[in-house]
Amino acid sequence: MQNDENGFLIFIVDDDKSMRDSLKHLLKKSGWQVEVFTRGQDVISRLKNVCPDVILSDVRMPSMTGLELLENLKGDFSPPMVLISAHGDIPMAVEAMQNGAYSFIEKPFDVHRLLAALRNGARGHRQALETARLRERLTSLSGLDRILLGQTSTIADLREEIFDLSASDTPVLLLGETGTGKSLVARAMHDLGLRSAKPFIALNCATIPLQDFETYMFGTIDGTRGAFVQADGGSLFLDEVGTMPLETQAKLLRAIEMQEFTMLGASEPIKVNIRIISASNEDLGNLVEEGRFRQDLLYRLNNMVLNLPPLRERKSDISLLYSHFLTQQAELYEIVAPELSADDVASLISHDWAGNVRELRHVAERRIMAARRGRGSVAEAIARNGEPDEVPETLREAVAVFEKQLISQAIKSHQGRMDAVAEALGIGRRTLNEKIVKLGLNKDELL
């Protein structure tokens, strides 16, 4: 049977060799990893490279006492310290505890009591570190961590790939199910790259009527600005590229190859400098075999391919993602986020998440709406997938829901042109940006 202490690292500090050897033997036999020291100064030096789960130190030692070592260890995440002494008394124990000692034990000590104190101290320290790491990830997220939140090796590797490809101009094809964050990744690649100061234009190929496709893509001579003109110098994101009409694909291929295109009604081509990022939730190879997608266009788009994993393959990330979205929604509706119970975690893990991260975000929002009324659970929020949301009971909730729906529709109607969105809503661009942030809207996901 594996000991609970297995894997815990302890530093033992004592100038008495026989005591050091005795404690080392006892703890190793109990499954601990042990490092021994004769002086407190050596412990301080070692802590620069290695942090133990707990420190066990004698009080009375030459050059640096255990209490002096304790004073040097003060810090938010310093390892807990258990002090032992043959000369201990109540005043010394009180002083040690006031200075931050985890426990104080007199020699000769009871072995079971000593092991219990060390084990509890080590467990508490690890839990504190884990809690701090989680809090840091939820409150101080930045860079790619904000785009692809998660701790699994798959997501960590994907973040590294995105970072590497951001410095390149090579076309990238993003593959993944609906809701896996393809538009967010595309935007991140632009923002992290050399073109970040230039436009990022997102075009959802699935929402453009067939008869208007070339107009949206290339524009017209009478002044309609197409996506290629708008994205000049920056990045053009072609979402759901597999839905593009076959008759348009040849013109797109030429525009990508030559970095030039011809507007409808024009006779002279226009030169552009654009990076192409595309995305699909379908296997484009299958579309090629079915005659619905040009193979030569696929070869132009898939110089580099990134696969975004579905949420069901990232089980260990689900609770972290849910907590992040729950915190966002709680701030929006100005309430304290409900605690995550064991039943909530079980519901999160057992669900198949067909809608992936997007579905998880919606579940968190429904959970907060229910919490406003003092009820609800994760299981109930999941069960309501696809059902119409309840009518908000407070004016603040109603205003937030209405603003979110109105702004979302305006962004879709105006294809993400934010000046046009602000004008249509009758508000300033700055006010629009503030509301988008407050409401937790993501423009790229709406397009």
Q: Which domains does the chain have, with CATH numbers?
A: 9-138 (3.40.50.2300), 148-309 (3.40.50.300), 312-446 (no CATH)
The answer to whether residue 1 scores a pLDDT higher than 50 is no
Q: How far apart are CA 356 and CA 310, in angstroms?
A: 6
DSSP of 33-92: EEEEES-HHHHHHHTTT---SEEEEES--SSS-HHHHHHHT-STTPPPEEEEETT--HHH
What is the separation, in whole angstroms, between the first and last Cα of the chain?
56
Q: How far apart are CA 352 and CA 27, in angstroms?
A: 44
**Residue 284: which pLDDT band, with cuts at 50, 70 and 90?**
very high
Q: How far apart are CA 198 and CA 196, in angstroms?
A: 5
The answer to whether residue 5 scores a pLDDT higher than 80 is no
Q: What is the pLDDT of residues 392-416, one digit of tens each?
A: 556 666 677 778 878 887 887 777 7
Q: What is the pLDDT of residues 303-359, one digit of tens each?
A: 999 999 998 888 888 888 888 889 888 888 888 889 888 888 889 988 989 888 888
The predicted pLDDT at position 134 comes to 54
Largest distance between two CA atoms of the chain = 98
**Residue 210: which pLDDT band, with cuts at 50, 70 and 90?**
confident
Distances (CA, A) of 245 to 206, 211, 242, 295, 359: 10, 10, 8, 14, 29
Q: Apex CA 173: angle with CA 171 and CA 179, to 5°?
A: 140
Q: pTM for the full model?
A: 0.56
Report the DSSP pairing between strands 9-13 and 54-58.
parallel
- Asked if residue 10 lies in contact with residue 54, where contact means CB atoms within 8 angstroms, the answer is yes
The answer to whether residue 133 scores a pLDDT higher than 80 is no
Q: Apex CA 155: angle with CA 154 and CA 160, to 5°?
A: 100
The predicted pLDDT at position 7 comes to 75
**Residue 4: which pLDDT band, with cuts at 50, 70 and 90?**
very low
Report the DSSP pairing between strands 270-271 and 33-37.
unpaired
The predicted pLDDT at position 396 comes to 66
Task: Please state the rounded mean pLDDT for residues 33-59.
Answer: 91
Least confident of 198-202, 219-223, 347-351: 219-223
The answer to whether residue 152 scores a pLDDT higher than 90 is no
Task: Please state the rounded mean pLDDT for residues 363-367.
Answer: 91
